[in-house]
Amino acid sequence: MKDSFLSFGSPDLIGSAARSAVIIAFLVFIGLCLLWVFTLATDDDPERLYVAEQSLPPVFNGVAMAGEQITVVILVSLPGAIALFGYDGVSTAVDSALALGVFLLLASRIRATRRYTLGDLFSLRAEGPGTRIAGAVVTLCIAVPLLMVQLRAGGITAALLIGMPTETAQVVCTVLMGFLITCFAAVADLRGTGFVQVAKVPVALATLAAVILLALRRFDWSPESLLSAAVDKSMSPDDYLSPGLWAHTAGFGPLGTISDHIVVILGTAMMPHLLLRVSAGRDMPAARRSLSVAVGLTGLFYLLLITAGLAAAAVVGSGQIRAVDAKGQGAPILLASEVLPHQSTSRVVLITLVPCVAFLAVLTAVASVTFAAAVSVTRDLIVQRGRFRNAIGEPAVMRLSVVALCAVGLILTTALHRYPIEFLFAFSLSVAASCVFPALVYSFLWPGFNRRGLLWLVYGGLSLCILLTLTSPVVSGTKYALLPGQDFNLFPLHAPGLVSVPAAFLLGWLGSARPWERTARNARTVFREAGDQGHALTADPGAPRAGIGTDRDGVTGV
């Protein structure tokens, strides 16, 4: 069992005089968001509900796709990781930005199939209920851990905002935000969530830019001075701009870094909600244009996050950030509280804006993940049987699936609130990188890929992710593990991608090609031909033998 996510001695960022105004403004913002969402609700046919009849404009869909990358985990974790760990945090941000470039390679092919769940895409080479079940299982294994981490981060951010970072306050805030987000996810469709995503992107970018400019002003608008201050006020000035400062690093240093890069890049690119979003484009050129818009906005977002992390280290200091939270996830609010004078109204407005952006990030991220998972459960599991669809209709089945998934995620999050479950985010990325990416590559590029290969790849990759994660340093054997008092740490890497991704490709090839059957078949053919030839020689002793001929006069010769 671990300490709470934030330290009980966290500083009062707002002050008692301004706290009421900040909380009221935050609650009004939440209420306006929910009212707007309910005006976007629709209950039309499934195609309109799931992918907006594949008619979204490319720019709109591209901005919404960029919004899918602005999650609360990224928003509060990356600046803190950069403030505390320097180069290692920056490399993680770069990996996340590169993910859309990887997705761009497959986006046109995905849109051309006109399919939008993993079960649909897995059925490209292998129709049948087994492949659809595999798609739904993988989707749930990606979505449920993501829901837990997002809800936890949102609740803790709200607890920090009201100046009550105790376990009870964190749980209460998590439950309340979970209920609000469930209401949103239960009524929204893809177009509705797209509108909220589009609204979130400029708000998030503008807030980050404002905080960064105010931080730069303290250093006479000199980025070089800001970077020097970040290095000087870091926990390890000599190593801040070099790899290896990340506190969770285990053995096999370079291999562990490669594994982390594989998981972040491939996993982020293969999220089910991102696949659903690209399928809503009008056609393949529109999908490519949407990806171009998304890549540009996402690159700008991560550039601002990197700068915000360095500004947090320069203005606040790594020591104070670590005192509030060992993983640095309070860095954005700490930075916003320090860039303006403590008695100014502008400071209160800025501190209010940061949690509002965080709430939008939680709202949209949880809704998108839950929506994609519910669509998969509805189409790939329930609708295939036809019972509930015929009784209450497919849209109603999807809405009930959303509520059920949110309830499961909320129950698990509150039940595990004492434990460090942040590793579940990396687990979700590992499953996406190991199960989704190899399956789509084979489905699009290898005609010989079949049902057996798909099932071997998916379930083999999933089993490896679970097994290697359970025996890795994130679960036991280290100070930051889920169970620090236990030690069954057999796998030295924190992320299984270095092993699970190549193994999944190998399993897909073995299951489809079955080279051992070809070898056995060739051996049987050789044996049969040899047997047939021996049988012919025994049955007709007077027949000419190999290398012996008979001329017209009956004289034999070689």
pLDDT digit string (tens) for 103-135?
888 888 888 888 888 999 998 887 788 899 999
Least confident among 169-178, 300-309, 444-453, 502-511: 169-178
The average pLDDT across 376-392 equals: 71
What is the per-residue pLDDT for 19? 66
CA 244 vs. chain centroid, Å, equals 24
By three-state DSSP, how is residue 477 classified?
A: coil
What is the per-residue pLDDT for 145? 94
Residues 6+ apart with CB under 8 A from 205: 297, 300, 301, 304
The average pLDDT across 441-447 equals: 92
Distances (CA, A) of 361 to 156, 208, 302, 366, 487: 14, 13, 15, 8, 36
Dig out the tokens for 183 from the structure: 């209401």
CA 474 vs. chain centroid, Å, equals 18
What is the per-residue pLDDT for 288? 85
What's the distance, Cα to Cα, between the start and end of the chain in Å?
A: 88
Least confident among 162-171, 229-238, 489-498: 162-171
Query: Can you name the residues that pair with 550 across neighbouring β-strands?
Result: 556
What is the per-residue pLDDT for 424? 92
Angle, helix 394-415 to helix 167-187, in steps of 10 degrees: 170
Q: How does pLDDT run across 460-511, given as a tens digit for each residue?
A: 999 999 999 999 888 888 777 888 888 888 888 888 999 999 999 999 999 9
Q: How high does pLDDT run on average in the chain?
A: 82
**Please, are residues 437 and 266 in contact by the beta-carbon 8 Å criterion?**
yes
What is the per-residue pLDDT for 1? 40
By three-state DSSP, how is residue 281 classified?
A: strand
The fraction of the chain above a pLDDT of 70, given in percent, is 84
Distances (CA, A) of 515 to 499, 518, 520, 522: 22, 5, 9, 11
Select from 504, 439, 503, 499 the least CA-distant residue to 469. Answer: 499
By three-state DSSP, how is residue 550 classified?
A: strand
pLDDT at 302 over 50: yes
Q: How far apart are CA 475 and CA 494, in angstroms?
A: 9
Query: Can you name the residues that pair with 56 across neighbouring β-strands?
Result: 281
**pLDDT bracket for residue 421 (50, 70, 90):** confident
Query: Can you name the residues that pair with 281 across neighbouring β-strands?
Result: 56
**pLDDT bracket for residue 23 (50, 70, 90):** confident
What is the per-residue pLDDT for 510? 94
Alpha helices for 163-283 (secondary structure H): 167-187, 190-217, 223-232, 253-269, 272-278
Q: How far apart are CA 294 and CA 60, in angstroms?
A: 10
The average pLDDT across 502-525 equals: 81
Give phi and psi for 346, each to the nearest 5: -60, -35
Compute the residue count for the chain: 558
Burial of 353 by CB count in 10 Å (0-12 exposed, 13-18 middle, 19+ buried)? buried
What is the per-residue pLDDT for 547? 43
The average pLDDT across 61-73 equals: 89
Dig out the tokens for 105 from the structure: 């390679």
Give phi and psi for 557, each to the nearest 5: -165, 165
Residue with the bigger pLDDT between 104 and 310: it is 310
Question: How would you classify the pairing of strands 549-550 and 556-557?
Answer: antiparallel
The average pLDDT across 29-36 equals: 76
**pLDDT bracket for residue 533 (50, 70, 90):** low
Burial of 3 by CB count in 10 Å (0-12 exposed, 13-18 middle, 19+ buried)? exposed
31-35, 185-189, 464-468, 525-529: which is most confident: 464-468
**pLDDT bracket for residue 549 (50, 70, 90):** very low
- The DSSP letter of residue 476 is B
Residue with the bigger pLDDT between 30 and 368: it is 368
What is the per-residue pLDDT for 442? 94
**pLDDT bracket for residue 52 (50, 70, 90):** confident
Select from 512, 501, 381 the least CA-distant residue to 432. Answer: 501
**pLDDT bracket for residue 430 (50, 70, 90):** very high
Classify the C-alpha dihedral 304-309-314-316 as positive or negative.
positive
The average pLDDT across 380-394 equals: 67
**Please, are residues 247 and 481 in contact by the beta-carbon 8 Å criterion?**
no
Distances (CA, A) of 98 to 68, 91, 206, 384, 442: 14, 11, 22, 36, 22
What is the per-residue pLDDT for 217? 92
The average pLDDT across 306-318 equals: 92
Give phi and psi for 308, each to the nearest 5: -65, -40
Dig out the tokens for 37 from the structure: 């969402």
**Which conformational region is residue 420 in: left (phi greater than 0), alpha (psi within -120 to 50 degrees), or beta?**
beta
The average pLDDT across 186-203 equals: 85
Q: How far apart are CA 205 and CA 195, in angstroms?
A: 16
The average pLDDT across 82-95 equals: 88
Give phi and psi for 56, each to the nearest 5: -70, 140
Q: How far apart are CA 301 and CA 75, in angstroms?
A: 10
Written as one letter, the residue type at 89 is G
The average pLDDT across 278-305 equals: 88
What is the per-residue pLDDT for 469? 94
What is the per-residue pLDDT for 363? 83
Written as one letter, the residue type at 163 is G
pLDDT at 88 over 80: yes
Select from 357, 431, 424 the least CA-distant residue to 147. Answer: 424
The average pLDDT across 77-102 equals: 88
Select from 446, 430, 453 the least CA-distant residue to 501. Answer: 430
Q: What is the pTM of this model?
A: 0.85
The average pLDDT across 509-526 equals: 75
**Please, are residues 497 and 259 in contact by the beta-carbon 8 Å criterion?**
yes
Q: How far apart are CA 423 and CA 432, in angstroms?
A: 15
